[in-house]
Amino acid sequence: MNFNHDTVWKKCLNTIQQNVNAQSYKTWFEPVKPVKLAEQVLTIQVPNKFFYEWLEEHYVNLLKKAIRQELGDQARLEYQILIAKQSDEETKRSETKAPPKMVSSDQIKNPFVIPGIKKLKIDSQLNPQYLFQNFIEGDCNRLGRSAGLAVAKKPGGTAFNPLFIFGKVGLGKTHLAHAIGNDARVRNPDLAVLYVPAEKFTNQFIDSLKNNAVNDFVNFYQMIDVLIVDDIQFLANKQKTQDIFFHIFNQLHQGGKQLILTSDRPPKDLDGMEERLISRFKWGLSADLQAPDLETRMAIVGTRMDREGVALPPEVIEFISYNIKNNIRELEGVLISLVAQSSLNRREIDIDLAKDVIKNFVSEITKEVTVGLIQEMVADHYELTVEKLQGKTRKRSIVIARQLSMYLAKNLTNKSLKSIGDNFGGRDHSTVIYSCKAVRDLMDTDTIFKSSVQEIEKKIRMSVHD
C-alpha cells in the first residue's frame, strides 16, 4: 500500500494523541510538519533545535512506536530544523535606512535617568521577587520555562532569539520574563539587562523626538545585552515607534544580543504590526503559556504561602485552587486577601473564611468533584446502588459501570490511583489503570457508550455549581 508523508504522519499523530495529554500534544506535535517519505524514512520539520532536542529526550520511544506501527520495524524518523530567512523585500527594507552611528557610551543619554542626575549605569528595572525558584512549572508553561532557563544560561547563544512569550492576562508572562533577566544577571553580573514595558518604550521615544535626541535613545538601547520588552502588542499602529524598534532589534540581534518579548497573543495575531517585525518575532521560539491545571495551581498556592510563612490546611488549598482556574494573578490576589482577612479579623484560615474571600473574586463557587459524587451519578445512570459499584460482583453491566466510575474519578478529581482504588472496595492502582484503559478503548469503538460517558460527565460538572 502506498502512503505519502502527510498520510503517514497523520496516522502517527493519531497514535501520539492517545498517549499524551492535550497540552503536550498541542505544544510539541501540532507545530511539526511532515516533509518527505523515502521508503521507510519519514522526515519531519521542527521549528528549531530546541524542539528537536526536546522530542528526542522526552518522546523518542513514543515516536518510534508510532512510526514503526505505520511503516514497519525498520522505519526511521529524520528531522529537518526550520531556519527562518528574510524575504528579499524585508532585506531591501532593512538596507534602505542606515542604522544610527554608534557613539561612545559616555556621550549617550540614558532615558531611564532622572533629568539633572548624571548617571549612565543601567538600572535593569527588574523585580527581584520574580525568580525561577517561585515560578511553578507545569504542563501549561514547561516549554517557556525550559527555554527561559536556556536563555538565562547563554543569552544570545541559543536558537531562542528572540524568545517570544505569549498568553492571556495573569498567566505569568511578566514573571517569567523577569526571572530570565534576574537569572542572567546572577550568572553574569557584567551583563547589561533591561526590562521595559512597550508603553514606556514608546513614551521614551516620543520624548527623544521632542528633545531632538533620537540618536541618544537608539544608541542607549543598542548597548543592552539582554533586552526584555513586555506587552509588545502595545506597539501596534505606532509606525514611527515600530520603525525605531525594528532598527534596535536588528542591531541587537546581529550583535548576538538577547531579545525577550511578551505579548497577549502569538506573533501571527498581532494586528497593526509591520510584517517585517512579525517576521522577526518568529525567528526564535514562541512559547505559549496556558492556564495552569489543578495540580499546578495547588503547587502555586502552597509555594506562595510557604514564602509568607503561612500554613494552609490542605482542604483550603484545594478549595481555592479548584475555584480560581484561569488567572494566576487572581489566585495570588485571593491569597493576599485571605491572609489579610485572617490577620485583621483574627480568624483562623479555614474553608468558611476561604469561601467568604473567594466570593469577592468569582460570581459562582464550584464545589469539589468527589469520588463519592461520581459513584452516585454513575450508579443513578445505570440504575445501580453505590454498594454494587464498590462490591466484588463480576456481572458485565456492573463491571462497566465500576470501570467508568474509576475513569471519571481519574479525570475529574486530583485523587491518586491508590486513593481511587480504596473507594472501590480497596482495589489496587493497577486495577484503576486497567479500568481507565478499558473505558478509553470502549469509547473508541462504541459511539453510544461514548455519548453516555459525555452525558454523565456533563451532569457531574453541572451538579457541582451552587
The more confidently predicted of residues 111 and 335 is 335
pLDDT of residue 106 exceeding 80? no
pLDDT of residue 127: 92
pLDDT of residue 433: 92
Segments of 168-271 assigned E as strands: 193-197, 226-230, 258-263
Tell me how far apart the alpha carbons of residues 351 and 466 are, in angstroms, rounded to a whole number: 15
pLDDT of residue 86: 44
pLDDT of residue 150: 92
pLDDT of residue 114: 39
331-to-117, 257, 323, 358, 365 alpha-carbon distances in Å: 40, 35, 9, 10, 14
pLDDT tens digits, 84-104 = 444 444 444 433 344 444 444
Tell me how far apart the alpha carbons of residues 50 and 146 are, in angstroms, rounded to a whole number: 10
| Mean pLDDT calculated for residue range 192-203 | 94
φ, ψ (nearest 5 deg) of residue 461: -65, -40
The more confidently predicted of residues 143 and 26 is 143
pLDDT of residue 112: 59
23-32, 156-165, 268-277: least confidently modelled range: 23-32
| Mean pLDDT calculated for residue range 215-220 | 88
pLDDT tens digits, 433-464 = 999 999 999 988 888 898 889 888 878 876 66
Tell me how far apart the alpha carbons of residues 49 and 316 are, in angstroms, rounded to a whole number: 43
Q: What percent of the chain has pLDDT over 70?
A: 88
Beta-bridge mates of residue 366: 465
pLDDT of residue 111: 60
pLDDT tens digits, 292-308 = 877 788 888 877 787 77
Q: Which candidate, 8, 16, 147, 152, places its Cα nearest to that of 70?
A: 8
Q: According to the per-residue pLDDT averaged within each range, which of 250-264, 310-324, 331-345, 404-418 is highest?
A: 250-264
Tell me how far apart the alpha carbons of residues 271 and 199 are, in angstroms, rounded to a whole number: 16
Tell me how far apart the alpha carbons of residues 345 and 431 are, in angstroms, rounded to a whole number: 48
Tell me how far apart the alpha carbons of residues 176 and 187 are, in angstroms, rounded to a whole number: 16
Q: Which three cell numbers stand for residue 325?
A: 482556574
Average pLDDT score, the chain:
83
176-185, 195-204, 316-325, 370-379: least confidently modelled range: 316-325
pLDDT of residue 363: 52
Ordered domains of the chain (ranges, CATH) = 5-81 (3.30.300.180), 118-289 (3.40.50.300), 294-358 (1.10.8.60), 371-463 (1.10.1750.10)
pLDDT of residue 186: 94
| Cβ–Cβ < 8 Å for 248, 221 | yes
The more confidently predicted of residues 361 and 215 is 215
With cut-offs at 50, 70 and 90, classify the pLDDT of residue 168. confident
φ, ψ (nearest 5 deg) of residue 260: -130, 125
pLDDT tens digits, 307-362 = 777 777 777 887 787 777 777 877 888 888 888 888 887 888 888 888 878 777 76
367 membership: H or E segment, kind and range: none
Tell me how far apart the alpha carbons of residues 29 and 77 are, in angstroms, rounded to a whole number: 14
pLDDT of residue 347: 81
Tell me how far apart the alpha carbons of residues 13 and 433 are, in angstroms, rounded to a whole number: 23
pLDDT of residue 84: 47
Beta-bridge mates of residue 167: 289
pLDDT of residue 38: 87
pLDDT of residue 109 exceeding 80? no
Tell me how far apart the alpha carbons of residues 206 and 413 are, in angstroms, rounded to a whole number: 53
| Mean pLDDT calculated for residue range 212-222 | 87
